[in-house]
Amino acid sequence: MLTIMRNKEIKKILSEIKDQFDCGIKGEHLFLISKNDKVYIANPELQEINTENLKINNTGSYFGKIERAGFRLSIEGSEILDNPKKNILELTDEEFQAYMAGENLMLDEKQENAYKIIKYKKHFIGCGRVSNNVLLNYIPKARRAKENN
């Protein structure tokens, strides 16, 4: 079950996004949270609908998850950032193939331990976390590229 987030909780997430990526998010959204700290965003007009007698499992788009290490954006969450300026990791063609197959990537250049927006060419493809110069892959198994054998 999802509950509408309080302004204080929303401001904390938006502040983390500002600190991590030096940006905000596009548009106005209603923020909802699940019991396992997954954050969803929906059209603010959802508040005007009487959902009291409805059983709704999920609504909106999965935006990210509150983790001990900070706020981790989903693939969709990374796409609605408004012009991120820092902590962006651009992948080569080879790295992109490995990343989309679900592999963690050893990074050639030294990177600070933090969440990074993953970019391939002109597209943001999600969010990963760098730890000890390894990009940890958070792409769900169901969304990974499969090899053609």
Q: Which helix (H) or strand (E) holds 25?
A: strand 24-25
Taking CA atoms, 55 is separated from 24, 51, 127, in Å, by 32, 8, 31
The answer to whether residue 106 sits within a structural domain is: yes
Give the pLDDT confidence of 53-108 residue by residue, as tens digits: 777 666 889 999 999 989 999 999 999 999 999 999 999 999 999 999 999 999 98
Taking CA atoms, 6 is separated from 2, 11, 13, 26, 40, in Å, by 13, 9, 11, 19, 13
Its domain, for residue 36, covers 3-143
Residue 132 or 48, more confident? 132
d(CA 139, CA 47): 31
Number of domains in the chain: 1
pLDDT value of position 121: 95
The answer to whether residue 24 sits within a structural domain is: yes
Flag whether pLDDT at 140 surpasses 70. Answer: yes
CA 55 distance to own-chain centroid:
26
- Percent residues over pLDDT 90 in the chain: 73
The answer to whether residue 148 sits within a structural domain is: no
pTM of the model: 0.86
